[in-house]
Amino acid sequence: MGGGGSGGGGAFSKRSPEQLRELVRKAEHQTTDAVFEANLAKFLGELLGAYNARDTEAVSERLEALKAALEKSIDGTLDYLFGGSVAKHTYVDGLSDVDSLLLIDDTSLERKSPQTAIARIEAIIKRQLGSKAAVSHGRMAITVEYPDGMVLQLLPAVRTDAGLIRVPSSRRDGWSSINPVTFQEALTRRNKECDGKLVPMIKLAKAINGQLPDAQRLSGYHLESLAIAAFRGYDGEKTTAAMLPAFFERARALVLSPIVDSTGQSVHVDEYLGPANSEARQAAGHLLGRLARRMRNATAAASMEQWQAMFEI
């Protein structure tokens, strides 16, 4: 007899008050983490809104009209699916920013400045569109901005006497040695492996990169190449919130060595940083590592303010 009084406490009756408090704390943290993750995903999604919300049908129609106007001056085109800029960043600095590559039918341009090719394309588009759109250019590309806010970015390219394709360099006044066609194929393939999240992640990484002093920024091509390498065989969570810190962490080590162009060519897209383990590469590695830590710390603290600060929001 006397054995009855065990009550209905179940598993909780065997825990101390401190253990119960710890369970409550964990439950609260899980709730806080879920709310923060939802807010972070919403924030990053809003940053990418301009890219995601593009009217692809209107983009295609306008590209076709531009290509028709240029058909006598170009030898072919390569349209991209990744165009569109992040927030207030409208500069072109890599292939994932471009709407269409225009292959100009004039091999002699290889021996001239890219600005010659850019000026030629810009003049033709201005004549064609007149007051229907604002046409301007930067170091690499021509930008066409329509009254409804749509922005198209066109990258001129030339075929060399050897049959290679060259595009303007983002870091100097000359032609880049990157093969844009196979580079695009590599970027498209890796983006597909990452469920379409790689290119949006690159755009956000470029937005952060764009906040850095000029001397500390990596080139757009370099960022894209690092991303292709960093996410080879990636089996982590395929969201921009998870992939951004993963990118900066992996890039921290990758940047220490010259990265072979993802097209398989025996050239490098980051020659501006010098040889392996150069001071410039070590400085870049430290910076990328700091950015990764800032993201991890912001997430650990569930701080949207710290995340927003990285984009200067």
Q: What is the pLDDT of residues 39-49, one digit of tens each?
A: 999 999 998 88
pLDDT score, position 97: 76
pLDDT score, position 83: 62
The answer to whether 190 and 232 have CB atoms below 8 angstroms apart is yes
**pTM, full prediction:** 0.75
Q: What is the pLDDT of residues 53-87, one digit of tens each?
A: 677 788 889 999 998 888 888 877 766 656 655 54
Cα 23 from Cα 41, distance rounded (Å): 27
pLDDT score, position 5: 47
Q: How far is CA 293 from CA 16, 129, 307, in A?
A: 36, 47, 11
Q: What is the pLDDT of residues 108-140, one digit of tens each?
A: 888 888 998 899 889 999 998 999 999 999 888
Element containing residue 306 per DSSP (H, E)? helix 304-310
Identify the sign of the CA torsion 174, 178, 181, 187: negative
Element containing residue 223 per DSSP (H, E)? helix 220-230
Q: What is the pLDDT of residues 275-293, one digit of tens each?
A: 999 999 999 999 999 999 9
